[in-house]
Chain A
Amino acid sequence: MRHLIIGSGPAGVVAAETLRKADPAAEITLLCGEAGPPYSRMAIPYLLKGGIAEAGTHLRKDADHYSRLRIQLVQARAQSVDTANRTVSVGAGKSLPYDRLLIATGSRPSVERIPGIELPGVHHCWTLEDARTILAKARPGTRIVQMGAGFVGCIIMEGLLSRGVNLTILVRSGYMVRRMMNPTASGLLRRWCEAKGVRILTHTQPKGITSEGGVLQVALPDGSILPADMYLSVVGVDPNLGFLGGSGIELGQGVLVDATMQSSLPGIYAAGDVAEANDCLTGKRQINAIQPNAVDQGRIAALNMAGRPARFKGSFVFNVLTTVGLVSSSFGEWQGVPGGESTEVLDEARYRYLNLQFEGDRLVGANTVGFTDHVGALRGLIEGRLPLGVWKQRLMDDPTQIMQAYLAAAHSMA
């Protein structure tokens, strides 16, 4: 059996490892779109901060990990999939055959549609190569204008500031990380960043970028110009599925998959940030671009590819973000649900905030800022759909009793 995996992020690598365990005789090829060993984008902020070297970003630390498992790494990008002949074209007239195919191509940075976006000095922060460029250019006093304050935009700030740069952040909407934080949490993050010397302009989307004497000129809607040595465009990501056009594989926002992670075509699977699979809170198919989900889906897809039935029962969104040292997290239906109730506690001076969302006597979502202890139990409560009983009212009165509620509800410990 020839297994071909497109994409060497966490989903692809875990799938390859799982395939080796489940099918010792299989031929496993892992297509890597970038040079070097598979690495984690999650680690890039810490590389920027200087906390780790490049090797610290590698998904697996043993140099012979892949050869030992007889996983063949091929550096190339998939150009197209020929589902009739079961081959993947990798350009230059070359193609790779497969019996089972896993699409684990993740995402790529969204591209802003403004004049000048192709100028030298305009960068994304997504790949190791991007990080190398930023590390080479970001020096004390370097003027960086960053468009976007979503998850990536926030998590890279600490690394940028640690290099002594002068940072201005442009935010299209009124709020930072609006896809994972409510306005109160978002407001705390903004105030925190401003206190750390970051200039933040909300409701601001540049009209265009020009270059004068090697200095970028970022034109703002009010007519003013921001000079910049570097423009960082971090406005979100899109699933990497351009090469699937004409393949016949059914696509939505991502590759639509069933509970076995199989696409609309037999033998072709998808996992990770490119897969649109069941959300266990909403019951709808959607992309859930978080690390734990990527590895779960990679493992389940691989088991099915190896002929061992395994089912994906759904996942939901939760994430943790560190913005210049301030830790925040977001779980499930943090925006609340119709007919639901919520409770919160806010300590603005200490940048601490906890918001809980309920449906009946079950927790369905949460936002936290400055709370890091035992936050995983929020996942446990939400995913386990555990009835809180008397603890619902106690949490309404004091949300910080969340661990006591969890121990009582999950472990009958009180």
Chain B
Amino acid sequence: MQKSLQIDPNKCTGCLQCEMACSWENYRSFTIAKSRIKVFSFHHEGRFVPYTCTQCDEAWCMTACPVDAIQLDPVTGAKIVLDPTCVGCKVCTIACPFGTINYVAQTGKVQKCDLCDGAPACAKACPTAAITYVDSDWTGFEKMRQWAGKTDTNPATV
């Protein structure tokens, strides 16, 4: 059974442990600006919403890449950026309608969540279980995927 990140904003306290863990996992530094998961603050509502790639089936980033630098990990289902192949053109960053693949100026490449090879550091670090890594059937991200289907003007049928 493939797993997905499940995010429950109601449980998020905005502690940013997930961002710290993501940054450490990928850069061995606590630089939350480089985190691939981002916690957004809603001041009016007093809420925090962690947000990252859903590894959507449409994979806009992957199909838009002009040099085949984004590939599917058949084990985890993650769409993974191959750093040596990425030229840094950023077409994926505007093609992804979720805004979850982003350019990193320091590396000249794009980055996105790769599910840490099946052991997401953000989920491990989350102290309130706002971020969990669960069987795909359970995931609340299904809502976002449905939304993806609604806005996908040209859904893939092959």
Chain A positions within 8 Å of B, measured between CB atoms, are: 10, 14, 18, 21-22, 40, 42-43, 45-46, 51-52, 56-61, 280, 290-292, 295-296, 299-300, 303, 308, 310, 312-315, 318-320, 322, 325, 327, 329, 331, 372-380, 383-384, 394, 403-404, 406-408, 410-414
Question: Distance (Å) between the CB of A35 and the closest chain B CB?
Answer: 19
Most B CB within 10 A of own CB, among A40, A314, A373, A413: A413
Question: Distance (Å) between the CB of A228 and the closest chain B CB?
Answer: 28
Question: Distance (Å) between the CB of B117 and the closest chain A CB?
Answer: 22
Is the Cβ of A406 less than 8 Å from the Cβ of B99? yes
- B144 contacts chain A at the CB level, 8 A cutoff: yes
A43 to B153, CA, bound (A): 27
Which residues of chain B are within 8 angstroms of A310 by Cβ–Cβ distance? 157
- B100 contacts chain A at the CB level, 8 A cutoff: yes
A374 to B38, CA, bound (A): 10
Which residues of chain A are within 8 angstroms of B96 by Cβ–Cβ distance? 376, 379
Is the Cβ of A374 less than 8 Å from the Cβ of B99? yes
Is the Cβ of B151 less than 8 Å from the Cβ of A384? yes
Is the Cβ of A414 less than 8 Å from the Cβ of B49? yes
Is the Cβ of A377 less than 8 Å from the Cβ of B99? yes
Which residues of chain A are within 8 angstroms of B108 by Cβ–Cβ distance? 51
Which residues of chain A are within 8 angstroms of B89 by Cβ–Cβ distance? 42-43, 45-46, 320
Which residues of chain A are within 8 angstroms of B105 by Cβ–Cβ distance? 325, 327, 372
Q: Which of B77-132 contact A (CB under 8 A)?
A: 85, 87-103, 105, 108
Is the Cβ of B100 less than 8 Å from the Cβ of A374? yes
Most B CB within 10 A of own CB, among A52, A291, A310: A291
Is the Cβ of A315 less than 8 Å from the Cβ of B153? yes
A406 to B96, CA, bound (A): 13
A61 to B68, CA, bound (A): 7
Question: Distance (Å) between the CB of A135 and the closest chain B CB?
Answer: 16
Which residues of chain A are within 8 angstroms of B91 by Cβ–Cβ distance? 42, 290-292, 320
Is the Cβ of A375 less than 8 Å from the Cβ of B93? yes
Is the Cβ of B98 less than 8 Å from the Cβ of A56? no
Is the Cβ of B63 less than 8 Å from the Cβ of A292? yes
Chain B positions within 8 Å of A, measured between CB atoms, are: 9, 38, 40-42, 44-45, 47, 49, 51, 60, 63-64, 66-68, 85, 87-103, 105, 108, 143-144, 147, 150-151, 153-154, 156-158
Is the Cβ of B158 less than 8 Å from the Cβ of A407? no
Is the Cβ of A376 less than 8 Å from the Cβ of B97? yes
Which residues of chain A are within 8 angstroms of B99 by Cβ–Cβ distance? 373-378, 380, 403, 406
Which residues of chain B are within 8 angstroms of A42 by Cβ–Cβ distance? 66-67, 87, 89, 91
Most B CB within 10 A of own CB, among A45, A52, A318: A52
A56 to B93, CA, bound (A): 19
A285 to B143, CA, bound (A): 33
Is the Cβ of B153 less than 8 Å from the Cβ of A314? yes
A391 to B9, CA, bound (A): 19
Question: Distance (Å) between the CB of B156 and the closest chain A CB?
Answer: 7
Is the Cβ of A413 less than 8 Å from the Cβ of B93? no
A244 to B40, CA, bound (A): 52
Closest to B41 in A: A404
Across the interface, A377 reaches (CB within 8 A) one of B98, B154, B156, namely: B98
Q: A10-B66, A60-B68, A404-B40 are in contact. Are A384 and B150 (CB under 8 A)?
A: yes
Across the interface, B42 reaches (CB within 8 A) one of A280, A291, A414, namely: A414
Q: Which 10 A-B pairs have the closest CB atoms?
A: A377-B99, A380-B97, A374-B99, A40-B66, A376-B96, A384-B151, A313-B153, A376-B99, A46-B87, A42-B66
Is the Cβ of B154 less than 8 Å from the Cβ of A372? no
A322 to B93, CA, bound (A): 13
A140 to B151, CA, bound (A): 49
Which residues of chain B are within 8 angstroms of A327 by Cβ–Cβ distance? 90, 103, 105
Is the Cβ of B66 less than 8 Å from the Cβ of A59? yes
Is the Cβ of B154 less than 8 Å from the Cβ of A296? yes
A407 to B45, CA, bound (A): 13
Is the Cβ of A374 less than 8 Å from the Cβ of B102? yes
- A sample of 18 cross-chain residue pairs with beta-carbon separation below 8 angstroms, ordered by A number, consists of A42-B67, A42-B91, A51-B88, A58-B67, A60-B68, A290-B91, A292-B91, A315-B154, A320-B94, A376-B98, A376-B99, A377-B99, A379-B97, A384-B151, A407-B51, A408-B42, A412-B143, A414-B42
Is the Cβ of B90 less than 8 Å from the Cβ of A320? yes
Closest to A290 in B: B91
Most A CB within 10 A of own CB, among B66, B90, B94, B151: B94
Is the Cβ of A329 less than 8 Å from the Cβ of B94? yes
Is the Cβ of B147 less than 8 Å from the Cβ of A411? yes
A232 to B103, CA, bound (A): 29
